[in-house]
Amino acid sequence: MLEPTIPIITTLAEYQTRFWVEIGLEMRRRGREARFLSFDSRSNEMLAAAGLDYVDATSSACEAALGDKDAFEVCQDFGVERLNFWLTHEKFAFGIRDSEALIRKLAGSLLVADKAIASMPKGSRLKMLQELGGFLSVIGSHFAALHHDIPSLLLEPSFFRGRLLFLSGDIQALKLEDSASEPASAEVLAYLEDTLARSAIVIPEKDRHQYTTAFRKVVNFRNARRLIQKLIDKHLLGKEQEFGHIGSHVSSHARMILASRKLSKLYTPISQLDSFVYYPLHVPGDMALTLRSPEYLDQEALIDYICRVTPPGVAIAVKEHPAMIGAMGAEPLEKLKRRYDHFHLIPPSTNNFDVLRRADAIVTVNSKSGAEAGLLGQRVIVLGDAFYRNAPFSLPVERMADLGPALASVLDGTAPAAPQLNVQDYFAALWNETLAGELYVCDHANIERFVDSIITSLD
């Protein structure tokens, strides 16, 4: 009989580790073990206090592992190519320009993850398990696993509330063919009907606190207490933090507050728009753009192009992501507003389903809005690496030059007919690719569901 597969689970911050400790203890109660790769000092302490097996992967541990080795050669040895590409997310997230420092960080992460793998008992069946992300700690752990021919599972919140995708192999989005179809179960039908009845957008529980105004996101007791704790940990206690770029984080949120106040004067309610094309603004710098669809990272340029190729008499409506109001800054959107009289910014508080129902066409890179539009029976023009790119309701565009004709065909009704397939059955097939659980939600019922899903993904 084969020994059970052991997951090596990465954790990058205290809020994550609080959850993973509960997962590790529940697995132990079921006779299963996990090893943790911890990139945060507080997380080390929490894992040690819980008696769970972990490897220190803080910045000092990564630097010690690298020593005087050539960081570029280390990355090459592990098969990491296109280095500048993999550095992109961290550069945008933290405003870091020093490529050499980032390559050293990636190389250190590779070596520490390699150490964690090599220190496991000989013959152990292993899988790397971590939240999908673009940070170099995650990228290094991912490539270290692949270097050892160990499956790397990346956990991504799915289109369905309370369910996850366990992606294996690479960071690209799951792809279902347009012919994918499963008879929709009563559970799936109830979920879809409830979603449409309530116009309920998908918000992972771990991100729910982000869905508020830029001001309330910064000025609240929870964040003030957390900021003070992080400052004390970093500057007084010398704790190492993966997300320790505190000044960058504070200044970016301050800019979001100022931008949101400027942009509030530009909003146009959708009730004032007749025919319009809808582009849901993606979170600037999100890995869905930086690593999955990097050619569309410059959203100002993309919106500008949409404005130029849309037929006359049709407005362009853009709505900021409700979790990151002001993140793009006021200047790019003000510039577009001055340049194009048919460009409109919709209030971010507007329910996404209300916008989708009124839109004459939807253009998206890979936003979940595209799948929500498909659920409503809309045709969606898809530019990037989206899980619904090959869905029956999607009209994928291969080149930017094809966007104008695609828009015209959707607006005048001459777009190629979608495959004859029950959309509910397509979403049922997608549902069957997911497993139950919410990341970083510590209530007992979720922990049990999550461990069930982990064991399913391992075995």
How does DSSP assign 196-258, residue by residue? HHHT-----GGGGGGSS-HHHHHSSHHHHHHHHHHHIIIIIS----TT--HHHHHHHHHHHHH
Binned at pLDDT 50, 70 and 90, residue 435 comes out as very high
The CA–CA distances, whole Å, from 8 to 24, 52, 57, 114, 434 equal 11, 12, 13, 11, 21
Identity (one letter) of the amino acid at 204? P
Assign 141 to helix, strand or coil: helix
pLDDT of residue 95: 84
Binned at pLDDT 50, 70 and 90, residue 440 comes out as very high
Q: What average pLDDT does the segment 382-405 reach?
A: 94
Provide the token pair at 111. 């070596």
Binned at pLDDT 50, 70 and 90, residue 82 comes out as very high
Assign 398 to helix, strand or coil: coil
Q: Which of 214-223, 227-236, 313-322 has the highest mean pLDDT?
A: 313-322
| Of residues 43, 73, 72, the one with CA closest to residue 57 | 43
- Give strand pairing partners of 435: 164
The DSSP secondary-structure symbol of 417 reads: P
Identify the residue with better confidence: 391 or 244.
391
Asked if 119 contacts 144 with a C-beta cutoff of 8 angstroms, the reply is: no
pLDDT of residue 183: 83
Asked if 350 contacts 259 with a C-beta cutoff of 8 angstroms, the reply is: no
Assign 87 to helix, strand or coil: helix
pLDDT of residue 88: 93
pLDDT of residue 213: 57
Identify the residue with better confidence: 169 or 155.
155
pLDDT of residue 257: 85
| Of residues 133, 139, 53, the one with CA closest to residue 103 | 139
pLDDT at 338 over 60: yes
Instruction: Give residue for tokens 């800054």.
Output: 329
Asked if 435 contacts 453 with a C-beta cutoff of 8 angstroms, the reply is: yes
pLDDT at 264 over 70: yes
pLDDT at 230 over 70: no
pLDDT at 231 over 90: no
- Give strand pairing partners of 343: 316
pLDDT at 205 over 90: no
pLDDT at 232 over 80: no
Provide the token pair at 459. 């075995």
The 10s digit of each residue's pLDDT in 35-81 is: 999 999 999 999 999 999 999 999 999 999 999 999 999 999 999 99
Q: What average pLDDT does the segment 154-163 reach?
A: 94
pLDDT at 311 over 70: yes
Assign 97 to helix, strand or coil: coil
Ramachandran area for residue 450 (φ above 0: left; ψ -120 to 50: alpha; else beta): alpha
| Of residues 297, 300, 365, the one with CA closest to residue 330 | 300
Residue percentage of the chain with pLDDT more than 90: 68
The DSSP secondary-structure symbol of 433 reads: T
Identify the residue with better confidence: 108 or 3.
108
Q: What is the pTM of this model?
A: 0.86
Assign 422 to helix, strand or coil: coil
pLDDT at 177 over 90: no
pLDDT of residue 246: 63
Q: Beta-carbon neighbour count of residue 93 at 10 Å?
A: 20
- Give strand pairing partners of 208: none
Provide the token pair at 432. 């069957």
What's the chain's average pLDDT?
89
Q: What average pLDDT does the segment 236-255 reach?
A: 68
Asked if 143 contacts 85 with a C-beta cutoff of 8 angstroms, the reply is: no
pLDDT of residue 212: 52
The 10s digit of each residue's pLDDT in 206-215 is: 555 454 555 5
Provide the token pair at 57. 């992967």
Cα-atom radius of gyration of the chain, to the nearest Å? 23
